[in-house]
Amino acid sequence: MVRFGYTMLTEQAGPRELVGHVVRAEGAGFDFSVASDHYFPWLRSQGHAPYVWSVLGAAAQATSRIPLMTYVTCPTFRYHPAVVAQKAATLHLLSQGRFRLGLGSGENLNEHVVGGGWPSVDVRHERLEEAVEIIRELFRGGHVTRHGTHFTVESARLWDLPDQPPPIGIAVSGEQSCALAGRLADLVIATEPKAGLLEAFDRHGGEGKPRVGQLPVCHDPDREAAVERAHAQFRWFGSGWKVNSELPHPDAFEGATQFVTPDDVADAIPCGDDPEVFVEAVRPYAEAGFTEIALVQIGGASQEPFLDWSARTLLPALREAFA
């Protein structure tokens, strides 16, 4: 059976609201949750970007069942991998084993703030591979000293470690990242329903491991209002990762998406309140082989109606379709 998750999208709600939303998602019956790790929103209309690790710590205490996950953290620019390892181990303890560490090579949008420049994708993948190796070594306990190509670690040790470390997921978008994930990850993460990504992950050692996808949706009893909101806040989504990872500021996304129409968005994102439309949008992910799919409800102020509708209508429909 496919598992269905809820996304705490930090770009569209404040920290207290995000914690309240995941509490309601747990009550609604979602199987897991994920949270974005941003310093900037994609567009100014989204309007938020709190520190997700504080949000997740609060969520770990406010919930009791629902698993938590970063979707995704870049451990190579804003954060040193030794610090990411400490944060992840602490959150795994706080949540009593409910945390998974989702990692990726990052977006210029968030990582430019520390002034380190934005290298080529090959270098970003090199940095990610080295970071994952450091995090795993720290998870094993003991002191770690390392002088690598990109990172230095001087006699680091995690003093509070769970009995079992949090699983590590790696986000993929092409052959190179799939090869990295197949070698180093416990699960794979993707935002597009491309079977080829999962096949490449399997070829490089990922066979049998969980695969987590993500789908934006926009529920509203008024479909036109849903389309308008999706266009205002999520028209950046269709640009593809090669574009989205490179642009440095919300204003750049405004310019890059100025010719995207509401109809374009409605063609890509299920809008309205017909559960069958949402089921059909999920179907390509299920058919591609994703075992978990996290839904992103667009619009911070629309979360509670969406969660109520999900408990009553959407989740039963999805589980019936993909049992």
Q: Which residues are catalytic?
A: 38, 107
Alpha helix ranges (H) inside the chain: 15-28, 52-62, 81-94, 108-111, 121-139, 175-184, 195-201, 223-234, 241-244, 250-256, 262-268, 275-288, 303-309, 315-322
| 32 DSSP β-pair partners | 5
Q: Are 212 and 188 spatial neighbours (Cβ–Cβ below 8 Å)?
A: yes
Angle between helices 275-288 and 315-322 (to 10 degrees): 40
- Tell me the CA distances in angstroms from 266 to 8, 227, 281, 302, one per residue in order: 22, 6, 11, 17
Residue whose C-alpha is closest to residue 28's, from 309, 319, 322: 309
Beta strands at 152-156 and 144-147: parallel, antiparallel or unpaired: antiparallel
| Residue 204 region by backbone torsions, left for phi larger than 0, else alpha for psi between -120 and 50, else beta | alpha
> How big is the chain by its Cα radius of gyration, in Å?
19
| 213 DSSP β-pair partners | 190, 293
First to last CA, the chain: 5
- Tell me the CA distances in angstroms from 14 to 8, 10, 53, 294, one per residue in order: 10, 7, 13, 20
